[in-house]
């Protein structure tokens, strides 16, 4: 592979704010401040809550099967490597968002995914979240029961719990 595609990829990631170029040092993954993490998770809490509520109202039988499969894969990865768990966690949340059948919401959620991935890469707090399996199950149960209020609450609680762990890891008082 030539250097040109690599340079272009590095430039794109730098423009997207994921990498930082430092004179005479090269590039590195950008670090996230506690304030940026807090701001990101405030928005994610609302988006995930809305996605779960809309999914409770709009999901199809096919969506229900995809949601069950996503949760099953995530539960099966419990205790596996960090990357696998975070990838499957993202897949579960994406599946909830897709089950909401709202294109604008899906676009907003995709835009936030890079910020969340950057935070998770920096903090690696997924394994410190002991209730994640039960919280994901509560989200799914409420969606399948078509209980929009409970789905919203379960999703928001899940994000808020994880955000507290992230902020603690970044040295922010809870």
How far is residue 120 CA from its own chain's centroid?
A: 9
- Structure-model confidence comparison of residues 19 and 171, the more confident one: 171
Is 56:143 a contact under the CB 8 Å cutoff?
Answer: yes
What does CATH list as the number for 33-169?
A: 1.20.120.530
- Sign of the CA dihedral running 44, 46, 49, 54: negative
Q: Would you say residue 107 has pLDDT above 60?
A: yes
Within the chain, which residue ranges are assigned CATH 1.20.120.530?
33-169
What pLDDT digit, counting tens, does each position of 75-92 carry? 998 877 778 888 899 999
Does residue 71 register a pLDDT over 90? yes
pLDDT at 102: 99
Say what the pTM is.
Answer: 0.83
- 102-136 burial: b if 16+ Cβ within 10 Å, else e: beebbebbeeeeebbebbbbbbebbeebeebeebb
- pLDDT for 123 beyond 60: yes
- Which alpha helices (H) appear in 16-129, and where do they start and end? 34-58, 61-76, 82-99, 103-123
pLDDT tens digits, 12-47: 767 766 677 777 777 777 678 889 899 999 999 999
What is the predicted pLDDT for the residue at 124?
A: 66
């Amino acid at each position: 592979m030539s250097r040109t595609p690599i340079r272009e990829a590095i430039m794109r990631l730098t423009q997207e704010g994921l990498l930082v170029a430092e004179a005479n040092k090269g590039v590195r993954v950008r670090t996230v401040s506690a304030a940026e993490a807090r701001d990101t998770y405030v928005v994610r809490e609302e988006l995930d809550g809305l996605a779960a509520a809309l999914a409770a109202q709009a999901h199809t039988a096919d969506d229900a099967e995809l949601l069950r499969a996503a949760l099953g894969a995530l539960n099966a990865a419990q205790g596996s490597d960090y990357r696998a768990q975070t990838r499957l966690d993202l897949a579960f949340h994406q599946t909830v968002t897709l089950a909401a059948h709202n294109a604008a919401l899906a676009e907003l959620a995709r835009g936030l995914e890079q910020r969340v991935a950057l935070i998770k890469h920096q903090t690696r707090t997924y394994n410190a979240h002991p209730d994640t399996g039960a919280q994901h199950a509560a989200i799914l149960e409420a969606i399948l029961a078509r209980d929009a209020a409970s789905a919203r609450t379960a999703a928001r609680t899940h994000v808020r719990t994880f955000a507290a762990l992230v902020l603690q890891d970044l040295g922010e008082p809870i």
